[in-house]
Amino acid sequence: MTTFGRVTSVTDAGVHFKLPLGIQKAHKVDVNVFQRIELGYRTDARAPEGYTLVTSESTMITGDYNIVNVEFFVEFKVSDPVKYLFASYEPVSVLRNLVQSQVRNVVGSTSVDAVLTTGKEAIQMQVKELISGVLEKYDIGLMLTDVKIQDSEPPTDEVTAAFKAVETAKQNAETVINEAKAYQNAELPAANARADSLRQNAEYLMQKRINEAIEKVAMFEAMYSEYELDPEITRSRMYYEAITEILPGVKLYIDMSEGGVQKLLPLENFSDTETVTQYYGAAEGGAQ
C-alpha cells in the first residue's frame, strides 16, 4: 500500500482498509503464482498445432555458424513486490529481453550438434545461471525458477534432412566401430594364443638344435681324444662303424691276406647289386 505515492506497508491477502480520495492506494501483486514467458512461439488454442511460431525470436546462430530455431520458455515469480512495482519500469519486459540475450549468448557459443541433440540440458542450466546472476544484480524483484527448451530444429526441411543424414552416418559409423571392436576382442585372444604356441615351439626347436649340436661336439671331442691315444685302432673302428651304418644287416667277410689290403667279400647275394656297389665304393673311399 502507498500513501501519497510512498510505500507505507506490505500485507498479505485478506481484508484491509485504506484511506479514500486517493490518499492511499493498494497495489495487488501475485507473489505465490509462477508466471511464464514464451520465446520463439506463442500458445494459441486456435492454431492447428496449438501454438504459433515467432521466428524473429527463435532464429539464432550457433557457435559453428549454423542457423537454428530454438523455442523455449522461462518460469518466474515475484520475490519482492515493492521492487517489482517501483524498482524498474515493466520488469517482465526487462526479464524477457534478458532471457533472449542470454539464450543467444549461450547458443552462440555452442555447436549445432549440441543444440539439436544432447546439449539442451547443459544450455538450460547455463542460461538459468546467467539470468539468475543478472537478476540479482538488477534487483527488480523477480526470481527465475526454470528455463526449458521446447524444441530446437534447423530452419528448413532441407537442412533438417541433411542433419538427419549426418546423424544416421554417425550412428552407422559407431555401429561399424563397435562391430570392429567386438571382432577384435573375439579374435585377439586366439591370435595371441597361436603366437604363443608358435613362439614356444620355435624356442623348443632352437633348444633342441643347440642340445644336438652340443652333443655332437662332445662326441667329436671324445672321439678325437681316443684318436690321439691310438690313431690306427680308432681309424679302423671308425671304418667298421661306417660299413655297419652303410650296409646294415649285410653279412660280409673281410680279407686282409694280401699285403694288408682289406677286401669285403659278401657271404650272401645282394638283392640290389647297383646299390651295394655304390655303398661299397663309398666305404672304400671313406677308408682311404
Residue 102: pLDDT band (50, 70, 90) is very high
Q: How far is CA 211 from the centre of its chain?
A: 50
Four-CA torsion 86, 89, 92, 98, nearest 10 degrees: -120
Contacts of 202 (CB under 8 A, 6+ apart): none
Per CATH, is 31-155 categorized as 3.30.479.30?
yes
Asked if residue 132 lies in contact with residue 68, where contact means CB atoms within 8 angstroms, the answer is: no
* CA–CA separation, 204 and 193 (whole Å): 16
Residue 282: pLDDT band (50, 70, 90) is very low
Instruction: Report the amino acid identity of residue 74.
Output: V
Residue 269: pLDDT band (50, 70, 90) is low
**DSSP letters for 82-135:** HHHHHSSSSHHHHHHHHHHHHHHHHHTTS-HHHHHTTTHHHHHHHHHHHHHHHH
Instruction: State which of 9-23, 60-74, 145-159 shows the largest mean pLDDT.
Output: 60-74
Cα angle for residues 180, 182, 188 (degrees, 5° grid): 95
Cell 680308432 locates to 234
pLDDT of residue 252: 63
Asked if residue 77 lies in contact with residue 32, where contact means CB atoms within 8 angstroms, the answer is: yes
Residue 187 pLDDT more than 60? Answer: yes
Instruction: Report the amino acid identity of residue 247.
Output: L
**In 10 A of CB 86, how many CB atoms?**
16
Asked if residue 55 lies in contact with residue 37, where contact means CB atoms within 8 angstroms, the answer is: no
* CA–CA separation, 109 and 112 (whole Å): 10
**In 10 A of CB 74, how many CB atoms?**
24
Domain ranges of the chain: 31-155, 157-229, 231-288
This prediction has a pTM of 0.53
Mean pLDDT for the chain? 80
Cell 517482465 locates to 92
Cell 539439436 locates to 116
pLDDT in tens, 230-251: 788 777 777 777 777 777 776 6
Instruction: Report the amino acid identity of residue 94.
Output: V
Residue 160 pLDDT more than 90? Answer: no
pLDDT of residue 29: 77
pLDDT in tens, 214-230: 998 988 888 888 778 77
Asked if residue 269 lies in contact with residue 251, where contact means CB atoms within 8 angstroms, the answer is: no
| Selected residue with higher pLDDT from 157 and 185 | 185
Asked if residue 61 lies in contact with residue 20, where contact means CB atoms within 8 angstroms, the answer is: no
